[in-house]
Chain A
Amino acid sequence: MMMRLLGVVPVVLGVVLLTFLLVHAVPGDPVEVMLGESASSADRMQLRADLGLDQPIYVQFGVYLNKLAHGDLGVSIHSKKPIVDLLAERLPATAKLALLALSFAILIGLPLGIVAALKVSQWPDKLANLLSLSISAMPHFWMGPMLMMIFALWLGLLPVSGMESGTAVILPALTLGFSLAAILTRMTRASMLEVLHEDFIRTARAKGLTERAVILRHALRAALLPIVTVLGLQLGSLLAGTVITETVFSWDGIGRLLVESIEKRDYPVTQACVLVVALIYVMVNLATDIIYTKIDPRVRFAS
């Protein structure tokens, strides 16, 4: 366990370094790109000094790390507000969206995968396969507008976009949830199929358990392990998906903040958004690994 926790340190440092280098990947002078050509030379000098761009690069990285350790992500060029505040404003919206999407994915994907495995090669399996393949081929910026067209514009059941109404979160969450559900369905099916051939399932049936108990208590529990791992990894595509989905639905979360900062060339904000999302992902994966050891007593971290 300790080793796994320590193993995160170099990854986090690498993530910080790579996001730090982002601003240096700007072709030409980043200050000019960010402020535009009309900016006064005093403004430029000011920004250059604020960003520390007049220092050698290793000094800049040291300063960046030091600030980061004190919870300081810099100041937005556009709004002049501390970036930490901007992120804190937006984080709850993204968390709400991501958690609801995850719930939708589990509610749809898990049962569909189980049914597909139980009726393998029959029509429910084929239907589940067709659904998951088609949905996997639908990027969020295509799925989102389609759901919007059907549920908001034609049926008028849900708000088109924005955050005013309580039900506004449903469509973006479905957009993200469906694509995760597609992967979850395939994973659950494969994992269940493997488990259903095991001896202990035959034993469970032979001792006269109901089919429901065999499937839910014996098979699903064993099949859940690889599913949890994949779910942890796939949360990454869900997090990345918020960038597009939030843009499509005008949902004011971190993803939309990222896109807005790109449009305004407010690169310190872009940098901070990327860093925070990557760090969240690293932590989620760490948590998944730890949960894994809790579900399966056989798994222990190598010491």
Chain B
Amino acid sequence: MSLKYWSVWVLALWVLAAIVASLVDFQPNQIHLDLILAKPSFGHLLGFDDLGREILPRLLAGAQVSLLVVALVTIITASVGIMLGMVSGYYGGWVDRTLIQITDVFLAFPGILLAIAFAAVLGAGLSNLILALSITSWVGYARLTRAQVLSLRQRQHVMAAESLGSSTLRIMLKHMLPLLAAPLLVEATYSMAGLVIAEASLSFLGLGIQAPNASWGAMLRDGVRYMLIAPHFVLAVGLSLMTLVLAVNVLGDRLRDYLDIHG
């Protein structure tokens, strides 16, 4: 086990933890009134929160929510974005101009502002959280795919396939998509790191998963309130979030260097 690949190991560990938490019921919502804000101890490694719930199982449940949201939003936005980008880049003309205009409008909303607004009006809950994040994060994939397809369209193997009468769908899927995989993979990795933070931000503002279910953002908000008397609470959640985001970002850097992608 090389230390060089620590980002992969950290990520794998969190994914494993999330899977285990979804298979085994660690009772993350179980309340122990005598153990409110109890410090970490041998049997309870991370201690208890402000309602007397054990932090470790809640942390795992939060990881499960976070990774589930990130995975689903990535699948939805990558599919939609890649499809729109391909159509736009391949056909050009008014289709392309329309898509560019639409993406420009979405990019005019800074950061997660639009996701916050959509999550607010849609109402709380897991599916609305996924919807709000999906509405706002397909743009990166669409722009990247379009730019790549514009140049791929001039490649000889694509022109050869066209003159041999391949269907457009076949050209897109067999002749273009494999060449898009590397840059899209890097884009997806960075986007996932952003989504982990976005999900936590929305939950922090009370717009994501609702109580009593655990999410890292909501746990951090509660933890901050008891920062002085029970620092173990906020530290456990904050450091967990940090390791996950750091691992995904570093993985993105490594992938980019390895696949030799610029920009």
Contact = CB atoms under 8 A, between A and B. Distances in A.
Interface stretch (B39-47, B69-77, B173-181, B227-235): B227-235
Contacts of A10: 101, 104
B183 interface: no
A27 B108 contact: no
A193 to B, nearest CB: 13
A272 to B, nearest CB: 11
Contacts of B78: none
Nearest to B131: A25
B117 A270 contact: yes
A184 interface: no
B205 to A, nearest CB: 6
Contact of B201 (A14, A133, A141, A239): A141
A270 B242 contact: no
Interface in B206-233: 206-207, 217, 220-221, 224, 227-228, 231
A22 interface: yes
Main SS at interface, chain A: helix
B110 A281 contact: yes
- A: contact size bracket: 35 or more
B49 to A, nearest CB: 15
Nearest to A271: B117
Contact of A145 (B105, B112, B114, B227): B227
A270 B123 CA distance: 14
- B: contact size bracket: 35 or more
B241 interface: yes
B121 interface: yes
Contacts of B246: 133-134, 136-137
B52 interface: no
Contacts of B110: 235-240, 277-278, 281
B159 interface: no
Contacts of A243: 113, 116, 205
Contacts of A238: 110
Contacts of A146: 238
18 contacts: A15-B108, A15-B109, A22-B118, A22-B121, A133-B249, A133-B250, A137-B241, A142-B238, A145-B224, A145-B234, A145-B238, A149-B228, A236-B110, A238-B110, A239-B111, A244-B201, A277-B113, A278-B108
Interface of B: 101-102, 104-106, 108-114, 116-118, 120-123, 193, 197, 200-201, 204-207, 217, 220-221, 224, 227-228, 231, 234, 238, 241-243, 245-246, 249-250
Per CB-CB distance, the 9 closest pairs between chain A and chain B, nearest first, are A240-B111, A236-B110, A14-B105, A137-B246, A137-B245, A262-B120, A240-B110, A142-B238, A237-B111
Given A153-B228, A277-B113, 13 more contacts: A12-B108, A15-B108, A18-B109, A136-B245, A137-B241, A137-B245, A137-B246, A141-B220, A236-B110, A239-B111, A263-B206, A278-B110, A281-B109
